[in-house]
Amino acid sequence: MIKEMCNQAKEASQQLALAQTRQKNECLLAMADLIWEQRPAILNANQGDVQGAERAGLSPAMIDRLMLNESRLEGIAASLRDVAALPDPVGKVFDARELPNGLRLHKQRVPIGVLAVIYESRPNVTIEVTGLALKTGNAIILRGGSETIATNRALVAVIRAAMQQSGLPPEAVQFIDNPDRALVNELLKMHDTIGMLIPRGGNQLHQFCRENSTIPVITGGIGICHLFVDESANQDASLKVIQNAKVQRPTVCNALDTVLVHRGIAATFLPRLVERLKADNVTFRAHDNAMPYLKGFSAPLVQPAGSEDFDTEWLSLVLGVKVVDGLEEAIRHIAAHSTGHSDGILTENPDHANQFVARVDSAAVYVNASTRYTDGGQFGLGAEVAVSTQRLHARGPMALEELTTYKWVAQGDYSVRP
């Protein structure tokens, strides 16, 4: 069944790769309209999933993530219209050159072919990744969470109806309509047809895919993010940046996890930091070397960090703090504990800024800015399908171009290699 799905997707991808931008955009707009028109059916299916989740005793946070309503559907439809408005990377010619041997050579952007996405509860992902895949001429195989299977079934029906309506092959969107985990194992071996696997979920899912997939995997989405407050930093402004990075949306991967404070300002800065963020309900895990500066505060506001706290992605209003002797120690701490997602320095010292940028090897490295910027929308890419923290193909926010590859095209005059 999985093999047949993959073959169908592969065949449809060949047609989709040749689709004109206008036709793909019409399809995205039709999809947006149809989601809105079909909202009773979608919301009805979603209600079934929500009731199932309640019966299964899922947490209110989980249930909130899978729940749809009219306003969320409106947002989903709007995101499709946004994708339709973005430039189409497919067909773009680059690195053109004429070689001394007379060959005219260029690279040309083409779709990856077939993408597979394994994701968890949020049904908006179904529409968002499908929209990005279609825009870039890729077929897609979706494997969502079992708790949203009815919702996803309804959404995929709408997607395929819109494709049919626009003259694009509905087989380009395949949905694994069966929660059996054995099917995932089978899917992970389909490297003959699937060009890229994108897991969207926790660390365990990424690890499982990395270990079991023969398809190239884009791992990412796990962010243990750091800000180093250098001695020269503007302290008021730094507090504002840290607050934004920690508090604005603590449950996402680009939220701040650890603040490293230069010893020279620790006595003044650390107490101010705690005072500032306690109003936002942030609690602190302080390294032994930071505790002496925080004697005025007690648990649960400030407590000593445990042995694994600096290797924890908090995803909540907890913030690790540690004192460092300076730039060198900050960089070493980050090299040892960062997941390579987003790390930054707050400083007025341009030399320190340059050294930090050169030596911290994360997907996004910041000077005097919040880690929260790591996002396809914020970076001006218009969308994002994942944030890659691995090193091949793409790093950081993956948008349209990152869902393409290229081929070399060479035009000669019956040219032969000398």
- The footprint of a second copy on residues 73-102 (CB under 8 A) is 97, 99-101
249 to 288, contacts with a second copy by CB under 8 A?
none
Round to whole Å and give the CA distance between 382 and 67.
25
Q: Nearest approach, Cβ of 161 to a second copy (angstroms)? A: 28
- Write the single-letter amino acid at 28: L
Q: Nearest approach, Cβ of 165 to a second copy (angstroms)? A: 25
Beta bridge partners of 344: 227, 366
Q: Which stretch binds a second copy (CB under 8 A): 175-183, 268-276, 288-296, 404-412?
A: 404-412
Q: Nearest approach, Cβ of 287 to a second copy (angstroms)? A: 23
Measured from the CB atom, the residue of 106 and 153 that comes closer to a second copy is: 106
DSSP state of 293: G
393 in contact with a second copy (CB under 8 A): yes
Cβ neighbours for 192, distance < 8 A, ≥ 6 positions apart: 6
Q: Which stretch binds a second copy (CB under 8 A): 66-74, 174-182, 258-266, 372-380?
A: 372-380
Measured from the CB atom, the residue of 33 and 311 that comes closer to a second copy is: 311
317 in contact with a second copy (CB under 8 A): no
Tell me the pairing of strands 139-143 and 283-286: unpaired
178 to 237, contacts with a second copy by CB under 8 A?
191, 195-196, 210-211, 214, 216-217, 234, 237
313 in contact with a second copy (CB under 8 A): no
For a second copy, the binding residue among 38, 238, 258, 283 (CB under 8 A) is 238
What's the gap between Cα 354 and its chain centre? 27
For a second copy, the binding residue among 156, 270, 364, 386 (CB under 8 A) is 364
For a second copy, the binding residue among 4, 308, 351, 413 (CB under 8 A) is 413
**Cα-based distances in Å from 256 to 2, 251, 296, 318:** 40, 10, 24, 9
Round to whole Å and give the CA distance between 394 and 403.
9
Phi-psi label, residue 11: left if phi above 0, alpha if psi -120 to 50, beta otherwise = alpha
Number of neighbouring beta carbons within 10 Å of residue 100: 5
100 to 129, contacts with a second copy by CB under 8 A?
100-101, 103, 105, 108, 110, 112-113
DSSP string for residues in 151-188: HHHHHHHHHHHHHHHTT--GGGEEE-----HHHHHHHT
Tell me the pairing of strands 139-143 and 114-119: parallel
Q: Which stretch binds a second copy (CB under 8 A): 40-48, 119-127, 269-277, 370-378?
A: 370-378
Q: Nearest approach, Cβ of 150 to a second copy (angstroms)? A: 34
DSSP state of 291: G
For a second copy, the binding residue among 182, 279, 299, 416 (CB under 8 A) is 416
**Measured CA angle at 268 (ends 295, 312), to 5 deg:** 65
DSSP state of 234: -
Measured from the CB atom, the residue of 41 and 93 that comes closer to a second copy is: 93
- Write the single-letter amino acid at 338: S
409 in contact with a second copy (CB under 8 A): yes
Q: Nearest approach, Cβ of 261 to a second copy (angstroms)? A: 16
Round to whole Å and give the CA distance between 319 and 225.
10
Question: Cβ(78)–Cβ(32) under 8 Å?
Answer: yes
> Any idea which residue has 């920690």 for tokens?
246
Residues 344-363 as x/- pattern, contact with a second copy by CB under 8 A: --x------x---xxx-xxx
Cα Rg of the chain, angstroms = 24
Q: Nearest approach, Cβ of 285 to a second copy (angstroms)? A: 23
Q: Which stretch binds a second copy (CB under 8 A): 39-47, 66-74, 172-180, 377-385?
A: 377-385
Tell me the pairing of strands 283-286 and 318-324: parallel
Orientation angle between helical segments 21-37 and 39-55, nearest 10 degrees: 70
411 in contact with a second copy (CB under 8 A): yes
244 in contact with a second copy (CB under 8 A): yes
Q: Which stretch binds a second copy (CB under 8 A): 44-52, 287-295, 304-312, 385-393?
A: 385-393
41 in contact with a second copy (CB under 8 A): no
33 in contact with a second copy (CB under 8 A): no
Round to whole Å and give the CA distance between 21 and 228.
45
Q: Nearest approach, Cβ of 169 to a second copy (angstroms)? A: 15
Q: Nearest approach, Cβ of 221 to a second copy (angstroms)? A: 16
303 in contact with a second copy (CB under 8 A): no
For a second copy, the binding residue among 45, 369, 383, 400 (CB under 8 A) is 369
Round to whole Å and give the CA distance between 411 and 93.
14
